[in-house]
Amino acid sequence: MEYEAVIGLEVHVQLQTETKIFCSCSTTFGAPPNTHSCPVCVGMPGVLPVLNRKVVEFAMKMALATHCEIVPFSVFARKHYFYPDLPKGYQISQYDLPLAERGWVEIAINGQAKRIGITRIHLEEDAGKLIHDENRPVSYVDFNRTGVPLIEIVSEPDIRSPEEAASYLKKVRQQVRYLEISDGNMEEGSLRCDANISLRPRGRKDFGVRAELKNMNSFRNVQKALEFEIRRQTALLLDGHEIVQETRLWDVAKGVTVTMRGKEEAHDYRYFPDPDLVPVEIDNAWLDSVKVELPELPDAKCARFEEQYGLSGYDAGVLTASKSLADYFEECVALFPSPKIVSNWVMVELFRILKQENLEIDACPIPPAGLAELLKLIDNGTISGKMAKDILEQAYDSKKSPKEIVEEQGVAQVSDESTLSAVVEQVVEAHPKEVEKCKAGKTKILGFLVGQVMKETKGQANPQKVNELLRKALGP
Ligand code: ADP
Ligand code: MG
Ligand code: ZN
């Protein structure tokens, strides 16, 4: 029996607004505990939450980017549960009337485009953080995070493999980053993912019983947890057992998922509309004002790069992976209008250096103008491509411009004919045997002679010119 995985993801994204969702406390990360809290976000009696308009606009942006329908009238609900990091005893969320519904995200899988449906996107507040003392039987609570705005993006069970799940998550992260509504950092918890997974015999239409996986804080861990879960559920089904619906935790150290709670212990959240908050009403004027603020999104930018710059789909995809990389490329092309040469230098040479230093393009000390300048120096014959690679490294280390480096070190390529002719003559005289062989038709030897000239000129001779001069000197 062959089984097929059915996967649906619930993704929480922390929104990068300056203040919290229902009060004016700062959302800045890393402040001393409980310095970003007030009576509203610690749930004192008698306070009234007031919705942050920016939060709604950020969520609208994601809804538009994922082709969702924005619900003109959505409602906040109280989701009740008890936990020490939830001071009110309920979380303000949205339930039966979410902000947005029925969208999709496109992923590429084996070169094929596939749409993953979005069921809903809703707004909610984050909970606080518990800190457990390892030495004493006490726990501390930090309310800086309570009330930090989140959107929850729920996908349809359209995902069929751990790779597709990772690809979907990366796309979601790319979009929130393009929209500048979140830093999308999984390791730091600004993007969190719960994964629901069930198996069914291949060809069957009905879904099987699912497990919900929690506690995965990287793309790799989501993928590994799902892979483990497929193995676990397959083994059970092949043995004739039934899958029980439950929530399981991913244990990173052991590489396994373990039971956290079963269906019987599932929370009854007793949702009801929050009487302190008016419904969110979104009219066309508001929607339009947000639409005009939308940047060019990854898919559109990638298609434009292919079209406008004649790049392959692969190259366009790499160069539009982040908005800053795409901007870097375009600024460079504006100054040196040969897109293919620029894309090669960015994707090969610049990436190699950045990778060595583990840097993102934003932190690259060579500005787009610096790379363009370097390419111009190759183009006008001042330096060779080989010298350029060296100068790029130096520009990286010294933060000097390629031109400055060339001027300071006098490393400019020598194309001057009389200078080169003298060296060519010298090399021809010094290597009579090789010259004979070459004349006798062993043209491979020509490369050796060129090499000798390059050596004499410390690599600064224009190789093309040297080639020309040598051929002339050796005769037909
Ligand atoms: P809950 O409220 O318990 O989290 P939802 O109906 O909101 O349940 O579904 C949560 C997620 O589970 C969604 O992403 C959905 O696509 C996914 N899902 C639902 N049924 C299945 C199933 N049988 N197998 C895998 N995923 C599923
Ligand atoms: Mg759930
Ligand atoms: Zn507050």
Distance CA 139, CA 134 (A): 9
User: 439 in helix, strand or coil?
Assistant: helix
Residue with tokens 């490294």: 393
Pocket test for ligand 1, best of 3, 6, 10 (most atoms within 8 A of CB): 10
pLDDT at 420: 81
Closest CA to 434 of 449, 451, 452: 449
Please tell me the distance between residue 337's alpha carbon and the centre of ligand 2 in angstroms.
Answer: 50
pLDDT at position 267 = 78
Cβ proximity of 155 and 168 under 8 Å: yes
> Residue 122 belongs to what H/E stretch?
strand 112-125
Distance 10 CA to ligand 2 centre (A): 7
Contact 107, 114 (CB under 8 A): yes
Q: pTM value?
A: 0.86
310: left (phi over 0), alpha (psi -120 to 50) or beta: left
Distances from the Cα of 158 to the Cαs of 208, 216, 341, in angstroms?
14, 20, 40
Q: Which CATH number fits domain 417-474: 3.30.565.10, 1.10.3720.10, 1.20.1260.10, 1.10.10.410?
A: 1.10.10.410
Please tell me what DSSP assigns to residue 348: I
3-state DSSP assignment of residue 53: helix
Task: Give span(s): CATH 1.10.10.410, the chain.
Answer: 417-474
Relative to the alpha carbon of 122, which ligand is closest?
1
The Å distance, Cα 178 to ligand 1 centre, comes to 27
Select from 72, 100, 99, 58 the least CA-distant residue to 290.
58
Residue pointed to by tokens 């001069």: 469
Per-residue model confidence as pLDDT tens for the chain (476 residues):
799 999 999 999 999 999 999 999 999 988 999 999 999 999 999 999 999 999 999 999 999 999 999 999 999 999 999 999 999 999 999 999 999 999 999 999 988 999 999 999 999 999 999 999 999 999 999 999 999 999 999 999 999 999 999 999 999 999 999 999 999 999 889 999 999 999 999 999 999 999 999 989 999 999 999 999 999 999 999 999 999 999 999 999 999 999 988 877 777 899 999 999 999 999 999 999 999 999 999 999 999 999 999 999 999 999 999 999 999 999 999 999 999 999 999 999 999 999 988 888 988 889 999 999 999 988 887 888 888 898 898 888 888 888 888 888 776 677 777 788 888 888 889 988 888 888 888 878 888 888 888 888 777 787 788 888 888 888 76
Q: Which runs of E-coded beta strand occur in 308-423?
A: none
Residue 175 CA to residue 118 CA, distance in Å, equals: 14
β-pair type (211-216, 191-201): antiparallel
Which amino acid, one-letter code, is at 161? S
Determine the distance separating the centroid of ligand 1 and the alpha carbon of 96, expressed in angstroms. 15
Describe the chain by its helix, strand, coil percentages, rounded to 5.
40, 20, 35
What is the rounded distance in angstroms from the CA atom of residue 461 to the CA atom of residue 448? 14
Q: What is the distance between the alpha carbons of residues 56 and 13, in angstroms, rounded to a whole number?
A: 13
In short, whether 427's Cβ falls inside 6 Å of ligand 1 is: no
Q: Which of 326, 282, 278 is nearest to 68 (CA)?
A: 282
